[in-house]
Chain A
Amino acid sequence: MNSGWNAILQCETAGAVVQWECLRFVLPSAAVPTRISILSGDQPADPSALSLFKSVQARLQLIAGVPYRCGPARMFDCMASHEPSCEHVLCIVIGHLPVSPRFETVAKSWLNQSPGRSTVIPVLVNGLTPRQAFAGAGHPTLSQCNAVEMGGTSHAVADKILELALVGERPGVFISYLRSEASGAAESIFDGLTRAGYRVFLDRFCGTPGRRFPQELAEAMTGLGVVLLLETASLHKSKWTLWEAAFARRYRIGPLAINFQGAKELRGSMARHRFSSNAAASLMQSEVDASVQFVGRNLTRISLGRRAYYETLIELAAKSRGGSVKRLNIGAVEASDSMGNPKVRVVVSGGPAQLRHMRRLHDLASGTQTLLIAGEHQHLPALSHSDLLWLASSLSLEPVGSASLYRRVRKLI
């Protein structure tokens, strides 16, 4: 395990004079170590590749500060290749046809270097579509990778890459709306988000017979990454929407709001996008695209904000006892006592713990350190909660919530 970095950002252009850059960051809120490589596929794509690199760099620098400059970008001989927990994201920026067969080989090798932890994203610029770029049978690997089309600024693509690299999985979206006023918009946004790869919970009225709504809503909402409110004229009068908005704020999963026709705004939304159209009817494609971008833009923000809250509590608890913390590049935080003896390691799941969080924490077991998994586990369905406790006990892990985290770490230091 390497503790000197947990994010690497690389870029290599294709012009007559090849430009390259490789930066190393220590991110306070990374779920796992990650490497993002941006490779320009042809000379016309160079400006877009550099723009994308700078967008991602700006966002990483915001969280991690000034990076360490490694030197030339090494695609397959990078130190990240030797870190078994590292996620590898390769963006091949393509701006000209035909796509060189070399990039098919590069993509295939990239995916094979760390199966299950490697991703290739073809980024198409200059108006290219996936159908044009990968026509014929010459790109069996690239044509199976979900491509993104980059138009205008590189911000939206940068957010997508960071979401993949830092959030760890494509989060789910809970759409809160009034069926009588926003069914058209809700269905359009549901389709758009689903096509973009999000898990979406649309209809609260599809619950399990016999279950009480608040518990079932709580379970559905904490398992997702964000709550999206569709603000229409009567939304603020809907008791279930008020539940959902309050719940989202309480558990730091938004809410985000899309406002239609200047409807009364629900207090406390993290971000708001406005449409002048009628939410009862289906949205235009441009509005669907804008909605999906709006959600994507804010997801990383929500996820990193929540991690910052947990990690700050750990840090403050350690410091209150004269101790210190170290961020491990596997996405965990290690707190030591005033003598520098490591006492506790914490993996922040944020939401209810998943198996991958437990495995990651279990892999960190070392000596007599206590292993904590921090998240909102209390809203798991009863049977899942019981399974979580059983598994945690079997692996000598301890689930803690945001309410008990500070005191627990303080006691262990």
Chain B
Amino acid sequence: MKILFVIAPDDSEREAATQLVADLVEALTYRAAPQEWQFLVLADLRDCLEIGLATLGRSASRTVEGGERVRSPLLLLPVGGEDFDNGAENALRHPSNDIPPDSMDNGGTLEDLVQLGAVERHERWTIGSQVMRVDQALELMVDERFDRVLFMAGNENQENLASRLVRPGGDGESDYRVRALDDRSRLDRNRVSPTLWSPLNEDDENAALRETIASEVANAVRLSFLLDTFARGELRA
């Protein structure tokens, strides 16, 4: 089972998309995943970090066996978008001059995740390489095929590129792809928490509280939808 997650870095809904993919990846990996499972994430450096953290604390199952470490099912390929300055990019990817040179401090945060066994580096993510644009990365993967592609928060051209990577044929589910954040019909939050949408005379602080709760309800609704449809069959109860 190979799943591709694409979060285009230049989209305003990227944060919600990142949270959702991280929740889904955590649900897919909370138990040791079969060796043939592979989840590839294309997202910007910071989003890769957040999604990679979803597997932290679960790397115990990826122990060294026969001299080889069991691979993490989560592969990361950072793509560009945000205009990172050198310092921020260093902190995420490379050794940084700002950090004292001891063992754990000597690499970027994403490198640490690789070192900890929480994630694996995609073959096109090499140390020192330039960060690719999302469409560039999708074009370079033209020969790869995925059972599912979850494309979120990007433009039509990028979505078309991603759709070419879906493995054809199969069981009818294999070409499933979702623009999860656009699927408003499935985000009927009122169905879950009617009081959230009651008209109220509220001040800014109450509005902020309401938005936080509404946002978390929406996150849960989206995750349950993806678990029931997109990842159907892959999860053992």
Residues of A in contact with B (beta carbons under 8 Å apart): 28-29, 58-59, 61-66, 155, 159, 212-215, 218, 234, 236-239, 242-243, 246-247, 249-250, 252, 267-268, 270-271, 297, 300-302, 304-306, 308-310, 312-313, 315-317, 320, 378-379, 401-404, 406-408, 410-411
Given contacts A306-B216, A407-B227, 13 further A-B contacts (CB under 8 A): A29-B213, A58-B201, A63-B213, A242-B88, A246-B46, A246-B53, A249-B19, A297-B205, A304-B212, A312-B217, A313-B224, A407-B27, A410-B237
Report if B136 contacts A (CB, 8 A): no
A65 surroundings in chain B (CB, below 8 A): 194-195, 198
Asked if B200 and A58 make an inter-chain contact with CB atoms under 8 angstroms apart, the answer reads yes
Report if B54 contacts A (CB, 8 A): yes
Kindly state the separation between the CA atoms of A29 and B212 in the bound complex, as whole angstroms. 13
Most buried by B among A66, A317, A407: A407
Majority secondary structure of chain A interface residues (helix, strand, loop or mixed): helix
Give, as a whole number of angstroms, the nearest-CB distance from A207 to chain B.
11
B213 surroundings in chain A (CB, below 8 A): 29, 63, 304-305, 308
Give, as a whole number of angstroms, the nearest-CB distance from B231 to chain A.
10
List residues 24-83 of chain B with CB under 8 A from any CB of chain A.
Answer: 26-27, 29-31, 46, 49-50, 53-54, 56-58, 82
Give 1 or 0 for each of B197-237: 1 = CB within 8 Å of chain A CB: 01011110110111011011101110110011000000111
Give me the 3 closest cross-chain CB pairs, A-B, nearest first: A237-B87, A312-B220, A65-B195
Asked if B217 and A239 make an inter-chain contact with CB atoms under 8 angstroms apart, the answer reads no
Kindly state the separation between the CA atoms of A249 and B50 in the bound complex, as whole angstroms. 8
Asked if A242 and B193 make an inter-chain contact with CB atoms under 8 angstroms apart, the answer reads no
Pick the residue among B15, B200, B216 that contacts A308 (CB under 8 A): B216
Report if B112 contacts A (CB, 8 A): yes
Most buried by B among A239, A246, A308: A239
Report if B98 contacts A (CB, 8 A): yes
B141 surroundings in chain A (CB, below 8 A): none
Kindly state the separation between the CA atoms of A297 and B104 in the bound complex, as whole angstroms. 36
Asked if B96 and A239 make an inter-chain contact with CB atoms under 8 angstroms apart, the answer reads yes
A305 surroundings in chain B (CB, below 8 A): 212-213, 215-216
